[in-house]
Amino acid sequence: MKKQKLLWLLCPLVFILLFFIFIRPSSTHQSTWADFEEDWANCTSIVVTKTASQDGSLMTTHSCDGGYEFRLKVVPARTAKPGEMRPIMKGGGHGAERPQAVQVGEIPEVSQTYARFDIAYSFMNEKQLAIGETTFGGRRELYNPQGKFDIMELQRIVLERCTTAREAIELIGQLVEKYGYGDMGECLTFIDKKEAWVFEIMGSGPLETGAIWAARRVPEGEVFVSANRSRIGELHLDDPNNYLASKNVFSYAQKKGWWSPDSGEPFRFNKIYAPSESIGSRRREWRVLSTLAPSLKLDPWQVDYPFSVKPDKKVSLQDLMALHRDYYQGTEFDLSQGLAAGPFNNPNRFSTRVRPPKGHIGWERPISIFRCSYCMIAQTRDWLPDWIGGLVWFAEDDPKTSCFVPFYCGITKVPEAYQIGRRDKFDRRSAWWAFDFVSNWANLRFADMVKDIRQAASDFETTFFNLQPVVEKRALSLYQDDPETCRRYLTKYSNEMAQRVVDEWWALADYLIVKYNDGYINLGPRRRAPGYPKWWLDAVGYGQKKIINR
């Protein structure tokens, strides 16, 4: 009898132990599925192939839409001694005020690494290899907390070791097969000097070391978007020039009963391993593809969109900047319109614990979102030396109230203002806080303030575009004589321009405080009170309550 009681006591304890070992996300894991679903996903990435772009460059983007590390640094190239090991770091990536990455293992170091940019999701190295990222979750049962690698560390490693997209994909495949993948379903958009690839990866369950992944090359002349759901469908592995996948990609699905070759149904990677009809993802896919290829007349309520499309006209850098500042302006989903936008056309919608009924949508999820940590647009150009050809346009915080500044991939540092800051302490030395403050202040009277903000951003960005041919001509001349002199020149230029923008943004913040203080427009010939628009006053019942005298 005592043994039976003891057994009844032990069974729940064993179950809880197994749950924490195999199912519950580890403390180093960067997010949970609950967080992922709550946030309605955290990134958007766009890819433009070489012959689809206006200037012949390849481009990929990444808006890091959540509470992530915004401090930007350049990690220098490094020479290692024979037998030296590189630590595997896991977790972190959410800023100085949050738990940091911890070492969970090590791998042999290579003799020579490449310099790279470092941030939450590292995005480019000195060899013109660039990466965008979005999380799509995938089946929960595929998550393995014991896997050594998370996606952030994989990005760091391939940027340190690889020069091409294909090489990076193959290296990730080798690493996760040996050491395991311990993160949610992720999409990486790779570009090098010639090709663009989409790579999607998930774990292989709590009992197996490894991963399930697939990669597809973006067809030349086309554009692609990832918005937090898996986009790779059918796999044609007999065409390795355009498709790659893990060894277990078919067998694992068969073993789990998720697909059978005898069913007559085609094998679709996304439908099998990460089924999703998220309207927040679909709407962003529609917005990007329909903006770049309006002739397709894509339905905004469509469940599935083409993997990639041919744009109606060549895509420019400015087109991608505009898309990352987009909140469906001019469409039926325009977030600056309607009662929820308030009297001053504010497109921002903060999180709410009230859920819409099943089958209904709450707030629309735009491409540009207030909680963005940073946004980048990477360009690769094979007609220039790597240090000049690789270029990142970087904006701290929300792109619609920020400014893109140029950082060449050959630079050795960024301004200190971009390297510091934390969310739990306001800091006027920090670049991120300059842009975040302006973004938050604009919520008070968005329709008016955003005009001032966009003018400031446009002035700077237009200047950068106009200076670019001159700067790169000078850089190329220096490079031909002495590459290191070229590198110093580009570092000086990028740093001076970036710091100038930060200084101006703090000045802009002070200007907006004064100009819009107390609901007035305080600058100009005289102070004026613009008040509220009549449509909004009518909607909230202004003037409809009758006075009663007793």
Residue by residue, what is the 3-state secondary structure of 427-493?
CCCCHHHHHHHHHHHHHHCHHHHHHHHHHHHHHHHHHHHHHHHHHHHHHHHHHHHCHHHHHHHHHHH
Q: Which long-range contacts (CB under 8 A, 24 or more apart) does 402-405 make?
A: 402/375, 402/435, 402/438, 402/439, 402/457, 403/435, 403/456, 403/457, 403/460, 403/461, 403/501, 403/505, 404/321, 404/375, 404/377, 404/457, 404/461, 404/464, 405/460, 405/464, 405/494, 405/497, 405/498, 405/501
* pLDDT score recorded for residue 41: 55
Termini Cα distance of the chain: 80
Token duo for residue 18: 């197994």
| pLDDT value of residue 305 | 98
Q: What is the DSSP string of 334-376?
A: -TTSSGGGTTTT-------SPPPPTT---S---SS-TT--EEE
The letter for the amino acid at 373 is S
Q: How confident is the model at residue 42 (pLDDT cuts 50, 70, 90)?
A: confident
pLDDT at residue 506 in the model:
98
**Proportion of the chain above pLDDT 70, given as a percent:** 93
pLDDT surpassing 70 at residue 3: no
Distance CA 395, CA 459 (A): 15
Cα of 476 vs its chain's centroid, Å? 31
Instruction: Please tell me the predicted confidence (pLDDT) of residue 429.
Output: 98
Query: Residue 524's pLDDT is what?
Result: 86
Q: What is the rounded CA–CA span in Å between residue 149 and residue 136?
A: 17
- Res 37 pLDDT > 50: no
0.85 exceeded by the pTM? yes
The pLDDT of residue 26 is above 70: no
Nearest to 288 by CA among 521, 61, 487: 61
Q: Provide the CB-side half-sphere exposure for 129 (13 A, CA).
A: 23
How many angstroms separate the most distant Cα atoms in the chain? 94
Instruction: Specify which residues 62 forms β-bridges with.
Output: 376
pLDDT, tens digit (0-9, with 9 covering 90-100), for 49-66: 999 999 999 999 999 999
Closest CA to 151 of 115, 121, 130: 121
The residue written with tokens 């619609």 in the block is 400
DSSP 8-state symbol, 185:
E
CA–CA dist 361, 77 (Å, integer) = 48
pLDDT tens-digit map of 465-490: 999 999 999 999 999 999 999 999 99
φ, ψ dihedrals at 193, nearest 5°: -80, -10
Q: How confident is the model at residue 298 (pLDDT cuts 50, 70, 90)?
A: very high
Mean pLDDT of the chain: 93
Residue-wise pLDDT tens digits, 237-273: 999 999 999 999 999 999 999 999 999 899 999 999 9
Per-residue pLDDT at 13 exceeds 50 = no
